[in-house]
Structure formats: C-alpha cells, structure tokens
C-alpha cells in the first residue's frame, strides 16, 4: 500500500473527529459507530488556502492531514497537538505538502502516467483499510465530497508522487557494502569502545558533615555488610542483599551498574575492580567518607566494534543520510523555477 494513500485515511479520520468535536461533539472516528452522513455534510468547514504552488492552492485540510501524518498520536490528545510541538509540526507539515505538490507537478511535466489497471488495484487496496461501508462513506463525505472521481484523482496523485520519489530518491539512495566499509574505515573513532566495567554495589553513606560517632557507625555497618556480601554466591543473592541494605540509588536495580566508563569511576573503585575476577566480591572500599562493596560482573577493555557487528545499523544510517540529502536537493531543484507562496 502506498504510504501517502494510507496516511490519507488516517489523517482524514482524525480530521473528521476534530471537526465533529468542534461542531457537534459527534465522532467521525472509524473506531466508533458514528460516521459522516448526508445530514452533517453542511457541518464540514470550507477549505482555506494556506499556500500556492505555481498557482495551485494547498488548503488547511491538506495541512491538517499532513500534521496528523507527522503526529498520529493526536487522537490521544483529543484531536489536538501538544502546544510545545504544534508550531514545529505545522511548519514541517507545510513544507511537506509544498514539496509533494512540487513533486506531483514535476511528474506531470515528465508525462508520467498511471494505467487504469494500476489505479483500480490501488483503489481496491485502499478500500480494504476501512472496517465497514459506513466508515468508507464517512471518509468519502469528508475527503471527496462523496465523489469517486475525486478519490481516483487523489490516489492517482499519490501514486505519481511515490513513483517520482522512487526514481529520484529511493533508487539513488542505495548504499553498497563498499561504501559502508569505506565509512567505517574513515571514521574509526566513531566505532571505538572505551574501557568499561559492569558491577554491582552495596554502599553505606554517612550523612553530610557526619560526626565522628556517625562515621564510626557507618564503618561498623559497612563491615557487617561486607560479611554478608562475601557470603553471597551469585548475582541474584548479591542483588537481593543490595536491595535490602544498600544506601545508593542503584539498590532498586539489584545494585547493578552497566558498562560504566573507567574515566567516570573513582580511582579507588577502578583499582578494586581491576583486582577482581568476574563474580568476585571486593573488600571494603572507602571513597572519601562513603563505603562501598563491589561485585564485578565484567571488565571490558577498550577496543573497536567489529565491522560485522555494526554494518546493519551503519547501512540504515548511511541510507537515511543519503535519502535526506537527495530529498533536500530535489526540493531545492524544484523550487528554483517554481512560484511558491505561503499565505
């Protein structure tokens, strides 16, 4: 299914819900039983132009549709957008509908076509997205004034936009294995792993500006904790003890610290960890006035991520970067000889 055609349904559904909420509190959401009918056609607000591209008007309904495509969770916000995000969503949507109109006009200029068979197939797939005939009727009323010809024009337009983007963006954004390897070799620092430690802790933390008596009590509690920690036999036993008696923030996570860089640890903890084998428990470690007990999970020396381990994520990253560059270049090229007015 063409992505923009699918978005047409979702956004129109949301748009119907917004309009109904503002007008009559009736829902046009396909998730409910109420849909647009001939009785409420008059309640559909008239479209207002928000931009013109070479004289073709783009309307507030086009804009709203794209805003819902960008932020599909609006239905969870009572058909609206978070205020902190709304302006950015609107700007992004406006740029997108202008770009798509430029692409559509370019496809027409090139004489690109959609055969009747292709259009009929797309229409059949499109109708499958609706749960019932009433849902489809509601959509047709809202988006197409009840006209099948209007719907055919909209779907034809979406197909032409996608086809030109396939030619100018998708087909040109392919990334070869050689390109991935070249990027990996030239950006070695990006894939360098720092030395890290994974470990569990039990901590005893005296109060700030502790008195001599409080420090003495803290050491006694720490020594008692050490005896219990030394008696543990595995991750779970140490973790349960940490949850019970540790006074640091990691107690709720069985005392676990995951992949902490060496440079971010106190030297006392690093020295203790270096003397341990995985599964071993340290002696009492004092860091300033606090006391800690460490159980080592793993010591991970600095090194490089292997190309085989990162090539899939690298492929997606490079392809997305190339796609963004190609879309931006196409947008710039099409705008160069176009008259675009934001109203």
Question: Which DSSP string do the residues of 156-204 spell out, in sequence order?
Answer: HHHHHHHHHHIIIIITT----HHHHHHHHHHTGGGGEEPPEEEEEEEEE
pLDDT of residue 43 exceeding 90, the answer is no
Position 10 scores a pLDDT of 46
Tell me what pLDDT residue 13 has. 46
pLDDT, residue 44, reads 55
124 shares a domain with 38: yes
Give the pLDDT mean for 132-157.
87
Among 2-16, 59-73, 188-202, 300-314, which is the least confidently predicted range? Answer: 2-16
Q: How far is CA 81 from the centre of its chain?
A: 17
**Domain for residue 282, yes or no?**
yes
Q: What does the pLDDT read at residue 18? A: 44
Q: What is the pLDDT of residue 197?
A: 96
> What 3-state DSSP class applies to 121?
helix
CB 146 within 8 A of CB 140: yes
Cβ-based neighbour number of residue 14 at 10 Å: 23
Q: What is the pLDDT of residue 176?
A: 92
What was the pLDDT predicted at 299?
95
* Separation between Cα atoms, residue 307 and residue 257, nearest integer Å: 27
Report, as an integer, the average pLDDT of 281-308.
Answer: 93
Q: Does residue 183 sit within a domain? A: no
Residues 205, 81 share a domain:
no
Residues 161 and 200 in one domain: no
DSSP E strands in the chain: the ranges are 49-53, 56-59, 192-193, 196-204, 256-261, 285-287, 290-300, 303-304, 340-342
- Total number of domains in the chain: 2
Write down the pTM of the prediction. 0.63
41 and 128 share a domain? yes
pLDDT at 2: 53
If phi > 0 it is left, if psi is from -120 to 50 it is alpha, else beta; for residue 287 that is: beta
- pLDDT of residue 314 exceeding 60, the answer is yes
Number of residues that this document lists for the chain: 343
pLDDT value of residue 8: 52
Classify residue 180: in a domain, yes or no: no
| 212/271 same-domain check | yes
Confidence (pLDDT) at 78: 63
Instruction: Indicate the burial class of 30 (C-beta count within 10 angstroms; 0-12, 13-18, 19 or more).
Output: buried
Q: Domain of 94: which CATH number? A: 1.10.4030.10
HEC secondary structure over 157-170: HHHHHHHHHHHHHH
CA distance 234 to 197: 17
Residue linked to tokens 């620092």? 189
> For residue 202, is pLDDT > 60?
yes
Q: Residue 286: what are its φ and ψ, rounded to 5°?
A: -105, 125
**Same structural domain, 19 and 155:** yes
Residue 104, token pair as written in the block: 């559509």
Which of 38, 37, 27, 29 has the alpha carbon at shortest distance from 9? 29
Average pLDDT over every residue of 225-235:
96
- List pLDDT tens digits, range 160-173: 999 999 999 999 99
Mean pLDDT of 224-235: 96
**Residues 124, 267 share a domain:** no
Q: Which two three-digit tokens encode residue 50?
A: 């928000």
Residue 77 — very low, low, confident or very high, per pLDDT cuts 50/70/90?
low
205: pLDDT strictly greater than 80: yes
Containing structural domain, residue 13: 3-171
């Amino acid at each position: 299914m063409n992505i923009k055609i699918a978005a047409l349904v979702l956004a129109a559904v949301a748009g119907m819900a917004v309009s109904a909420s503002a007008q009559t509190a009736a829902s046009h959401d396909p998730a409910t039983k109420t849909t647009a009918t001939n009785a409420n056609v008059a309640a559909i607000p008239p479209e207002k132009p928000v931009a013109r591209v070479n004289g073709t008007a783009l309307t507030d309904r086009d804009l709203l549709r794209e805003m819902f495509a960008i932020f599909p969770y609006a239905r969870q916000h009572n058909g609206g957008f978070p205020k902190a995000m709304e302006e950015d969503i609107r700007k992004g949507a406006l740029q997108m509908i202008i770009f798509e109109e430029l692409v559509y006009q370019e496809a027409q200029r090139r004489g690109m076509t959609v055969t009747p068979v292709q259009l009929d197939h797309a229409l059949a797939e499109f109708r499958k997205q609706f749960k019932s005939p009433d849902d489809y009727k509601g959509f047709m009323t809202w988006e197409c004034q009840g006209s099948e010809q209007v719907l055919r024009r909209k779907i034809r337009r979406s197909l032409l936009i996608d086809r030109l983007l396939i030619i100018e963006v998708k087909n040109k954004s392919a990334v070869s294995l050689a390109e991935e390897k070249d990027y990996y070799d030239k950006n070695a620092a990006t894939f360098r792993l720092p030395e890290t430690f994974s470990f569990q802790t039990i901590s005893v933390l005296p109060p700030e500006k502790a008195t001599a008596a409080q420090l003495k009590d803290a050491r006694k509690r720490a020594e008692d904790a050490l005896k219990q920690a030394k008696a543990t036999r595995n991750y779970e036993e140490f973790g349960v003890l940490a949850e019970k008696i540790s006074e640091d923030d990691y107690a709720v996570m069985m005392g676990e610290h995951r992949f902490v860089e060496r440079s971010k640890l106190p030297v006392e903890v690093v020295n203790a960890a270096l003397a341990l084998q995985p599964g071993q428990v340290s002696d009492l470690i004092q860091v300033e006035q606090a006391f800690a007990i460490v159980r080592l999970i793993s010591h991970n020396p600095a090194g490089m991520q292997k190309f085989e381990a990162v090539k899939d994520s690298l492929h997606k990253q490079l392809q997305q970067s190339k796609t963004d560059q190609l879309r931006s270049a196409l947008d710039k090229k099409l705008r160069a000889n176009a008259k675009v007015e934001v109203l």
